Structure 1
Amino acid sequence: MLEKRDFYINGRWVAPAKPNDYAVIDPSTEEQCAVISLGDKADTDAAVAAAKAAFDSWSQTSKAERTKLLKRLLEVYNDRAEEMAQAMSMEMGAPIEMSRTSQVGAGSWHLEGFLEAFENFSFESDFTATEKTLREPIGVCALITPWNWPMNQIILKAVPAMATGCTAILKPSEIAPLSGLLFAEYVDQAGFPAGVFNLVNGDGAGVGSQLSQHPDVDMVSFTGSTRAGIAISKAAAETLKRVSLELGGKGANIIFEDAHPKAAKMGAVRCFRNTGQSCNAPTRMLVHKSRYDEAVEMAAEVARTTHVGPASEPGQHIGPVVSEAQFNKIQKLIEIGMGEARLVAGGLGRPDGLNRGYFVKPTVFADVNNQMTIAREEVFGPVLAIMPFETEEEAIAIANDTPYGLTNYIQTEDTEKRRRVARRLRSGMVETNGQGFAKGSPFGGYKQSGNGREGGIFGLEEFLEVKAVSGWAAE
């Protein structure tokens, strides 16, 4: 069993101020795989003090200096990729091959995207012949990250913070903290100055709240549930610090009558990816009535044939959900769904042959309407809700009838319809015909899905203040 109790503060690994052991559970086995410590207020204060002390000098370093360190960080990340893959697979249950490709790859992809965006990024511009506009680092940043895509989210926050001259304290999810601890090792190995990056483990009620309320923290960047995002916003309001939020989702996947013949199959596969533990998953499938029965059967077949197994098992499959609490929440929502809609695949309990581990059956409900719990709540598991529509207007209305607005999906060969519908969907992202987003594309949502943007130039700008200076002679 791994023992990882120390925190990374001011360039050193230090013991917690008070012993407070926390067991990290392997969701494939339900057995303890590591022990960490949850931080105390003294640990939080020490990390914030280190970041505050480092800010003045770090914020004045050149763009070239910071770029050199970020490139070195990418080298270390790639050199130690297998360690990271093993850590994420064990802590949150991603199948090892997916962990090596998608989970690790998401981190390096975003880091590369930031380096590309940073190359031509300007921190100042002439507003008039005598007035200059400056973009300056906001200051000390608290980065609070989730367990479902650990490196994706840590890179999306830590890299732009450090690139823009901010200093940071990372609080990774206590459920899946091993990848965050490894990332701190990478930052240290890359040679970043002491205090620029710090890590304190803890839970939301403890270290999370302490960081959100701390008067010396200038910004909180949070990814997680909408409920927690609301709590962080309230806690941060007393000091009027900036809060950037990437929260939940309930994405609609609109399949029109002229969609690709396998659109429903591809939509179901995408829904079940990462065991459904993605905020941008297409969990509501809206299908034109002319294709509805075919889509229901196609999605049900995907659910029946999707292999579920331990994270260590080779090959293409989905693993467990992350924890017992998450398993129980999903089971309750499936039970509610069985009383509301027509169950066509999956259901309650573990898949056959699995009597241990937090494994969930890929589940499909048909004949769903938007008033049902299964259509409104974010399940965060491999559960798909399918509903029919007749007209374009009806599809748009159903898709927008949700408190969330992260990612929606459109499937049609009609280019004008695709563009027209995309403009009317109330979400931060609209993916059409399975075309993925480009490196550096802005990631974020509308409504209760959050209020910030991550990735590329948009992610850099989140960590900057804008300053106007008059009387600046033209150069």
Structure 2
Amino acid sequence: MTDRSRDVIADLGATLRGGFYIDGDWARPLGNDRTELVCPVDAKAWIDAPLASHADIDRATAAARKAFDTGPWPTLSASDRAHLLRRFAVEIEHREPLLARLWTAQVGAPISFAGMFVPTARAMLGYYADLLETYQFEDRRPTWSGEARVMREPIGPAALITPWNATLPILFYKLAAALAAGCTVVIKSSPETPFDALVVAECAHAAGFPPGVINVITADRTGGAHLVASPDIDKVSFTGSTAGGKAVGRACLDRMARFTLELGGKSAAIFLDDADLGQTLPAIAPFTMPFSGQICFAQTRIIAPRSRVEEIIAAYGAAIATLVVGDPWEPTTQLGPVSSATQMTRALAHIAKAKVDGARLVTGGTRLDNFGAGYFIAPTVFADVTPDMAIAREEVFGPVVVVQAYDSEDEAVALANHSDFGLSGSILTADPERGYRLARRIRTGNIGVNALQMAPNVPFGGYKQSGLGREGGPEGLAAFLETKAIYMPGANAV
């Protein structure tokens, strides 16, 4: 364990490390199961944390149910909820340095990367607080004999299930919208990242949320399944693997609970024949393997015109070669380790299969042994990749990018769409309107022209096996609302 990790532990405090947050207070676990965290920099265990038993989960769901059914939160005015969201944002801001360090300590995200994305939490709270000031929760529509009053009401208690790779930003896409809608929540943290949401609970407590509105547990897959099946939960918002999302969807359908799924990706960056590499490569290269490729929207497929493919391979390979790989605690590090031994083994297996399948290795392709036992993989690029290869179809979740060649725009579109996924993408061109026309043809939920962006007011989510529903923007708020129509008689009716 590094000295910096020790500092993070000290800043968390024993009460936060030792349990969960349920019904407005810190709760000791009722079971004895624990999860051990292993530092990806040196492969050494550095701390453990409790895992929720079924009884702990039942306590949390009951608290959320009670707070929704009898508490003040769902019936507060929109402006009152907005006020608390803004107080929450202030508390989060005070703890942003700690939250960034937690991200690095738990899964090895470079501290510069963590510092860039941690403010997403505050941005989401601010966006939904502002939206509450103008959002129409009721409108009136004329009918044949009177009017209908159409209401948008909170669904009910919601389970928010977050992955290990980007716990805090992903959580606040869900949490800010759920709270704005008037839902109460149970947050389930991943065993790999148990502490982020507990710090968030500390912030919520300081901001003054009523008991039971926000509940936090840490649970494994078995605990997650118990949470999803709980009759106290009316809505599930899940981010994770496609296989996990399918299991959540099936469980929700069994009892007709509402659900949103944000799942995997195998996104394509299409270079058009007029792309200026001097401008476009610096804009897109950081998003091809951010956090060592462990981000769902990573642009892991480069689709290049055959007439320029070798030029693009050489330029991209040179850009990747300049990335600083090293200790994620160092501010200059751009790529750190992958998060775990399991992730490293999985990524190396994908690399080995790509070589067997006939892909040409441009750079990387090995574990970096100069970092001792840490889980470091060299940034890896493959060329001569065909659509049937596993490396072109399957999500690696490691620092691996493939290059595919095309002869026409139609073929570029076909290659981009030849995927079970449809989460993100980008088009690089000297003519943005040409890029826009091509973007309209790509079957993906988000796509950027000459840059990749995310914004709180814009929906995020995927086509095909990248998920169901959207997070962010008014669409993200709507995902936590039910619609009710009340028919009223006309003025002359009895």
- When the two structures are superposed, what TM-score results if normalisation uses the length of structure 2? 0.92
Larger mean CA deviation between 83-92 and 414-423 belongs to 414-423
Question: By how many angstroms is 1:446 displaced?
Answer: 0.5
- The SS at the match of 1:353 is helix
Q: Does 1:325 align with 2:339?
A: no
Instruction: Give deviations 1:115-143, integer Å, cap 9, x for gaps.
Output: 23222112111122621100000001000
Q: What residue identity is the alignment partner of 1:132? A: R
1:3-402 alignment, distance < 5 Å: 4-56=17-69, 57=71, 58-102=73-117, 104-128=118-142, 130-204=147-221, 206-262=222-278, 263-264=280-281, 266-340=283-357, 341-350=359-368, 353-402=370-419
Give the distance between the partners of 1:271 and 1:24, measured in 2 at CA.
Answer: 27
2:3 is aligned to none
* Aligned pairs, number: 471
Superposed CA deviations along residues 187-238 of structure 1, whole A, max 9, x for unmatched, are 111110000010111112x221011111121011000110110111122221
1:164–1:460 CA distance, 2 compared to 1 (3 A): same
Whole-Å separation in 1 of the counterparts to 2:30 and 2:245: 28
Change (3 A) 1:437 1:175: closer
**Aligned to 1:385, what secondary structure does the other structure show?**
strand
| 1:257 to partner: Cα distance | 0.6
1:241 CA displacement: 0.5
Secondary structure of the structure 2 residue equivalent to 1:471: strand
Amino acid at match of 1:67: A
> Contact (CA 8 Å) 1:453, 1:462: kept in 2 or not?
yes
- Alpha-carbon spacing, 1:438–1:15, altered in 2? closer, same or farther (3 Å): closer
Deviation of 1:473 after TM superposition, in Å, equals 7.2
Aligned equivalents of 2:110 and 2:445: distance in 1?
Answer: 29
* Aligned residues of 1:44 and 1:200 also touching (Cα < 8 A): yes
Q: Which amino acid aligns with 1:40?
A: S
Residue equivalent to 2:475: 458
Conserved? CA contact 2:264–2:395, under 8 Å: yes
- Give CA deviations for 1:45-75 in whole Å, capped at 9, x if unaligned: 1100000000033211111211111000000
Letter in 2 for 1:221: S
CA contact (8 A) 1:224 1:248 kept: yes
Q: CA RMSD in A?
A: 1.6
1:33 & 1:302 partners in 2: Cα distance? 35
Q: TM-score, normalised by structure 1?
A: 0.96
Letter in 2 for 1:433: N
Question: 248-257 vs 55-64, which deviates more?
Answer: 55-64
How far apart in 2 are the matches of 1:130 and 1:49? 38
SS of 1:86's partner is helix
CA contact (8 A) 2:284 2:452 kept: no
Cα distance, 1:472 vs structure 2: 6.7
Match of 1:436 in 2: 453
Amino acid at match of 1:237: L
| Counterpart Cα distance in 1 of 2:93 and 2:490 | 45
Note the C-alpha offset of 1:268. Answer: 3.2
Q: CA contact under 8 A between 1:405 and 1:446: conserved in structure 2?
A: yes
Shift of 1:264: 4.1
Q: Which consecutive unaligned segments of at least 5 residues does structure 2 have?
A: 1-5
1:112 Cα offset (Å)? 2.3
Cα distance in 2, alignment partners of residues 462 and 239 from structure 1 = 18
Return the letter of the residue paired with 1:130: E
Deviation at 1:169, TM superposition (A): 0.2
Asked if 1 retains the 8 angstrom alpha-carbon contact of 2:138 and 2:152, the reply is yes
Query: 1:458, 1:413 → 2: CA distance?
Result: 32
Q: 1:79 to 1:14 in 2, by over 3 A?
A: same
Q: % of aligned pairs identical?
A: 39
CA shift in 2, pair 1:266/1:130, >3 Å = closer
Deviation at 1:94, TM superposition (A): 1.2
Task: Summarize deviations over 1:235-257 as a string: whole Å, max 9, x none.
Answer: 22211101100000000111011
**Helix, strand or coil at the partner of 2:381:** strand
Alignment partners' CA distance in 2, 1:157 and 1:33: 30
Could you tell me how far 1:5 is from its partner in structure 2?
Answer: 2.9
One-letter amino acid of the structure 2 residue matched with residue 92 of structure 1: V
Displacement, 1:34?
Answer: 2.2
Q: SS state of the match for residue 156, structure 1?
A: helix
Letter in 1 for 2:80: E
**In 2, distance between residues paired with 1:88 and 1:387?**
33
User: CA separation in 1, counterparts of 2:331 and 2:453?
Assistant: 26
How far apart are 1:416 and its partner, in Å? 4.0
